[in-house]
Amino acid sequence: MNPLKHVSAAPDDRAAREDLLRRYDSARARRQPWESLWQDCYDFALPAQGAGFTGTSLSVRRGDRVYDATAMDAVDQLAASLLGSLTPPWTQWFGFRPGPDLSPAQAAAIAPALENAGRTLRHHFDRSNFSVEMHQCFLDLVVGGTACLAFEEAAPGEFTAFRFTAIPLAQIALEEGPTGALDGTYRMLSLTLGQIQARYPEADVPSDIARTGTRDPQQKFSVMESLLPEAMGYRQCALLMEASGGPAMLRDVMRESSPILNFRWMKSPGDIYGRSPVMKALPDIRTANKVVELILKNASIAVTGIWQADDDGVLNPANIELVPGAIIPKAVGSQGLKALEMPARFDVSQLVLDDLRARIRHALLTDRLGQVSGPRMSATEVLERAAESALLLGATYGRLQSELLTPLIVRAHAILRRRGEIPDIALDGRLVAIDYRSPLARAQGQRNVQNTLGWLSSVAAMGAQGLAVVDLPAAARALGEALGVSPDLMRAQEEKSEAE
């Protein structure tokens, strides 16, 4: 079945275009109060040169305002940690398992096919640019609190069926539905004529735009894309904003699943956009940046000094250069050039700066596993710190699972099922369910593993009568599933019965 279905409405439907523009303006208006906060977060935690959230170009580089790199280093570490904890590259971080509506015999029969389907999906993820674009989305998530990932289907015959694009937060505006989910997405693009024709091959470009783009191939045109949910899927439209006769419709199609995934770090009631850990640490980041700036200014004064001189008509301070070997003239009997002595004081700036940096690292979760230079941790301490990390990220992981991981796997499953690369199975949670196997998901089950091992140890101490109530093969299978052991290493139930 073709994933693109052209909507029956005429391309020149003025009412549809006006409704899209009205909804886009409303989404932009709700976004504006966040822009100044986002700009501050990116200025101190992820500085870049170019246009800001207001759309105006910058005459100076943003990095020139930054004197302390603690926040930038912590952001990079947290984004890399999220990538390794949620979607680790070249690792089977998800899979499929039989749902609760299947009988044990049906579950055993379908399990190998589900395992092969999960591996097929993972191979497509590994061959695509998923890890690169996902890391960029996690940077946006940590700094801005909201991230956007475009998940498009590649052309048949390419190395992979998936193509990903991390959409910058500066390009999108969101709508929230009645249930609190991010239903509508608007994206403003700046494309050349060649890019427009490549992105929308089915579109008829207005003649005035075609003439302008032909004369100047580097001329940019504004294109507004929208993705709105409807009863039968998602409606995707694209408007060329700069056409002489008003916005021209370049695309108006229906999609089975959403090709854009929006997800947030944390959300407070009534908000559309998420709140990030950088927002929480922004006061400390600003203060640490100012403290380092003042320390550098004080250091420059300490190096060059402050000097005073008598105005004796001979000494001209404008012609003095404080370089080695310089001869400075002075009048007879005058003091000439004299250094101004600074009063002695107890410098507490370093103490304040160390405290600020520690709070920034704590807010960005870079200290949750302890310092590398510290003493070697015991196995128990490692497990306890992993459990603490799972508790700290529990709310965030639950939101990312519902807004990112589940829609990501569902769309990948739909693409490959339509292509015939995996069996036509219903991923509805009843017949087939998603099995999350990421390190963070496994860390949340470590407590159950420890409880099971403690119970087995206690029962073994009771002797033969205690072990008689234990189904050791079932216990070994449960521990293997909880620890993420490959099903290929565990015998099936019928094989175990035949061996007995």
| Predicted pLDDT at 55 | 54
Residues 6+ positions from 410 with CB-CB distance below 8 Å: 257, 427
Q: What percent of the chain has pLDDT over 90?
A: 36
| CA–CA dist 440, 81 (Å, integer) | 10
Task: With a cut of 90, say whether residue 58 has pLDDT above it.
Answer: no
Q: Measuring CA to CA, which residue among 108, 172, 230, 139 is closest to residue 496?
A: 108
Q: What is the C-alpha to C-alpha distance for residues 312 and 331, in angstroms, rounded to an integer?
A: 7
Q: Does 111 have pLDDT greater than 80?
A: yes
Helix axis angle, 70-86 to 14-45, nearest 10°: 120
Q: Is 415 a residue whose pLDDT tops 50?
A: yes
Q: Provide mean pLDDT across the span 28-54.
A: 83
pLDDT of residue 331: 67
- Looking at residue 359, its pLDDT comes to 93
List Cα–Cα distances, 19 to 13, 14, 239, in angstroms.
10, 9, 12
Residue 169 has what DSSP assignment?
A: G
Q: In residues, how long is the chain?
A: 500
Is the pLDDT at 76 greater than 90? The verdict is yes
CB atoms within 10 A of CB 354: 11
* Res. 336 pLDDT band, cuts 50 70 90: low
Residue 276 pLDDT: 94
121: helix, coil or strand?
A: helix
Q: How confident is residue 85, by pLDDT bands cut at 50, 70 and 90?
A: confident
Residue 369 tokens, joined: 């596993």
pLDDT category of residue 416 using cuts at 50, 70 and 90: very high
List pLDDT tens digits, range 276-313: 999 999 999 999 999 888 888 877 777 776 666 666 66
Would you state the structure tokens that stand for residue 432, as one six-digit string?
A: 């087939």
State the Cα–Cα distance between residues 415 and 162, nearest whole angstrom. 9
Q: Which residues pair with 307 in a beta bridge?
A: 339
226-240, 255-269, 296-310, 458-472: least confidently modelled range? 296-310
Query: For residue 483, what pLDDT is reported?
Result: 73
CA distance 88 to 455: 32
pTM for this entry:
0.82
Domain ranges of the chain: 445-487
**Whole-angstrom Cα distance, residue 105 to residue 264?**
40
- What residue type is 479 in one-letter code? L
Please give the Cα distance from 139 to 367 (Å, whole number).
18
Say what the pLDDT of residue 152 is. Answer: 92
* Least confident among 220-234, 364-378, 456-470: 364-378
pLDDT band at 471 (very low <50, low <70, confident <90, very high): confident
- 245 vs 264, which has greater pLDDT? 264
State the pLDDT at residue 373: 46
CA distances from 33 to 181, 476, 494, 496 (A): 20, 55, 62, 63
pLDDT band at residue 203 using 50, 70 and 90 as cut-offs = confident
Look at residue 478 in the predicted model and tell me its pLDDT: 78
DSSP H or E run through 113? helix 104-127
Q: 184 falls in which pLDDT band (50, 70, 90)?
A: confident
Give residue 142's pLDDT.
Answer: 95
Helix-, strand-, coil-residue percentages of the chain, each rounded to 5: 50, 15, 35
